[in-house]
């Protein structure tokens, strides 16, 4: 297996196959799940809006893919929600069967100097997640812009109990970058805690995925590259990966 095939096989196993569009319907979720080709590899999770969590669960079960997690988003995409609403969103999503909650940090408040608010949202969200539900905190690194703010946001997510720290919503001008990823991974490493990382938005080719895999390997070591600690959030990457894996 050459390097390209190896990266493709890794990428599919680490993928949160995602659709988060305002036009999503049950049919959209059906198409998303139908795009999974188990013989070529299955994603770690599918990520959908909360109202489609139960649809995703049923569709995955019908395909014999009960092991694939279902993730959803809260405080999405602006990060401006009232905390009580965000907690309610979280509880409803868990009731619907969500295995993972991707919370948008109040990143605008953090950028304005309100680090206490950012920490409160993470801590409160983590507090209502049962042990089996993972909390992934989206810091929106492209909007924070500076290394110092990206580092601070990552530290806050970790301090609040995040299981993963995620780059982006995929809904802003600049999403995942290798530069921000390096800051985030180094901050996670310095914490001496087992915290995962998720690159989301803009990772569209096997070559791009390979760059993130290499960086994570360099900073965190090969063992980090497993679904418990490393994910890609992607919508179009799966078809690219399958194309590579189908090549002889």
Find the CATH number of the domain harbouring 117.
Answer: 3.20.20.70
Q: Of 69, 102, 126, 163, which residue is the catalytic one?
A: 102
Q: How far is 82 from 152, CA to CA, in rounded Å?
A: 22
Q: What is the structure's pLDDT at 160?
A: 98
Q: Give the burial class of 64: count Cβ atoms within 10 A of its Cβ; 0-12 exposed, 13-18 middle, 19 or more buried.
A: exposed
Number of domains in the chain: 1
Active site residue 108: no
Q: What is the structure's pLDDT at 248?
A: 58
Active site residue 223: no
Q: Quick count: other Cβ atoms within 10 Å of Cβ 62?
A: 11
Active site residue 102: yes
Phi, psi of 28 (to 5 degrees): -60, -45
Q: How far is 217 from 30, CA to CA, in rounded Å?
A: 34
Contact 204, 237 (CB under 8 A): yes
* Nearest one of 141, 161, 132 to 71, comparing CA atoms: 132
Phi, psi of 161 (to 5 degrees): 105, 15
Q: What is the structure's pLDDT at 1?
A: 78
Question: Containing domain of residue 174, as a range?
Answer: 3-246
Q: Of 57, 136, 151, 166, which residue is the catalytic one?
A: 166
Contact 112, 121 (CB under 8 A): no
**24-72 residue pLDDT tens:** 999 999 999 999 999 999 999 999 999 999 999 999 999 999 999 999 9
Q: How far is 148 from 150, CA to CA, in rounded Å?
A: 6
Q: What is the structure's pLDDT at 202?
A: 87
Low-confidence ranges of the chain (pLDDT < 70): 248
**pTM for the full predicted model:** 0.98
């Amino acid at each position: 297996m050459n390097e390209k095939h190896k990266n493709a096989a890794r990428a599919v196993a680490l993928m949160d196959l995602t659709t988060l569009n305002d036009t999503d319907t049950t049919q959209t979720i059906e198409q998303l799940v139908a795009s999974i080709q188990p013989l070529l590899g299955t994603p770690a999770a599918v990520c959908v809006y909360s109202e489609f969590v139960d649809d995703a669960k049923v569709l995955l079960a019908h395909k014999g893919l009960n092991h694939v997690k279902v993730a959803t988003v809260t405080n999405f995409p602006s990060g401006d929600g009232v905390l009580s609403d965000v907690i309610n969103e979280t509880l409803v999503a868990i009731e619907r069967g969500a295995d993972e909650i991707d919370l948008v940090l109040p990143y605008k408040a953090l950028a304005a100097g309100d680090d206490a608010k950012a920490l409160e949202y993470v801590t409160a969200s983590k507090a209502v997640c049962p042990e089996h539900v993972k909390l992934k905190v989206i810091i929106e690194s492209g909007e924070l812009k500076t290394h110092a703010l990206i580092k601070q946001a990552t530290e806050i997510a970790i301090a609040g109990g995040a299981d993963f720290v995620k780059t982006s919503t995929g809904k802003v001008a600049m999403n995942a970058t290798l530069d921000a990823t390096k800051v985030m991974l180094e901050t996670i490493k310095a914490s001496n805690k087992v915290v995962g990382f998720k690159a989301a938005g803009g990772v569209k080719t096997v070559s791009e995925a390979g760059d993130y895999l290499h960086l994570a390997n360099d900073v965190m070591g090969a063992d980090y590259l497993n679904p418990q600690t490393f994910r890609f959030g992607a919508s179009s990457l799966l078809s690219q990966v399958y194309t590579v894996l189908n090549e002889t």
